[in-house]
């Protein structure tokens, strides 16, 4: 789950930094620096970051086959994020261009994609062993062993039974 949270942060952070920069002729003003952020240059970064957050919630809420399918979707999304991060990388730079920031942005997006793949694979591998939300209510017909009489009364109420009947 932590890998999905970090993937989301990496993809979102990479989308906020400069991905493209060049000097352009602005007529009277001369040459000006033109920049584009990751969100402008690669519009899929923010939706992929949101998918990682939603995937984290989905991993918590689901189990079994649904968690495996979600893991495959997150793995494919991680591959897409990695592709977006390395697509169009050019290492030629001129003086005055924010090359370090462009490189950091791409690396952040690449790490986010790798973490998204890891989170998807962890969901596939641990689909049966990881706890899921609402697992307590997944088998309402099964009897539970209560340690405390008060807990037993509350669980009987949760099952829709009258705990005072027959006493």
What one-character DSSP code corresponds to residue 114?
A: H
Rounded Cα gap, residues 142 and 109, in angstroms: 46
Same domain, 107 and 43: yes
Which residues form the domain of 12?
Answer: 2-133
Helix (H) or strand (E) holding 24: strand 18-25
Per residue in 37-70, pLDDT (tens digit) is 888 988 999 999 999 999 999 988 888 888 999 9
Same domain, 120 and 143: no
Same domain, 11 and 67: yes
What pLDDT score does 121 carry?
A: 94
Same domain, 116 and 143: no
SS3 state of residue 55: helix
What pLDDT score does 165 carry?
A: 74
Tokens at 118, concatenated: 């890891």
Same domain, 42 and 57: yes
The total of structural domains in the chain comes to 2
- Overall average pLDDT of the 22-38 stretch: 85
**Is 80 exceeded by the pLDDT of residue 36?**
yes
Per residue in 90-146, pLDDT (tens digit) is 766 667 788 888 889 999 999 999 999 999 999 999 877 777 666 555 555 555 565
Same domain, 92 and 125: yes
Tokens at 103, concatenated: 């490189």
Same domain, 9 and 74: yes
Phi, then psi, of 35 in degrees rounded to 5 = -130, 155
Same domain, 35 and 85: yes
Same domain, 129 and 142: no
Cα–Cα nearest to 11, from 43, 35, 57: 43
């Amino acid at each position: 789950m932590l890998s999905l949270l970090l993937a989301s942060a990496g993809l979102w952070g990479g989308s906020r930094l400069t991905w493209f920069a060049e000097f352009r002729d602005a007529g009277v003003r001369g040459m000006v620096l033109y920049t584009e952020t990751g969100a402008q240059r690669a519009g899929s970064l923010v939706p992929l970051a949101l998918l990682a957050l939603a995937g984290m919630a989905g991993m918590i809420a689901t189990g079994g086959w649904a968690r495996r399918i979600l893991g495959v979707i997150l793995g494919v999304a991680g591959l897409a994020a990695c592709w977006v991060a390395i697509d169009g990388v050019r290492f030629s730079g001129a003086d005055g261009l924010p090359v370090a920031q462009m490189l950091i942005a791409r690396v952040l997006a690449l790490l986010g994609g790798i973490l998204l793949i890891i989170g998807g694979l962890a969901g596939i591998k641990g689909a049966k062993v990881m706890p899921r939300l609402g697992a307590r209510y997944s088998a309402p017909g099964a009897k539970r062993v209560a340690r405390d009489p008060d807990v037993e009364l509350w669980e009987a109420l949760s099952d829709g039974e009258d705990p005072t009947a027959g006493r």
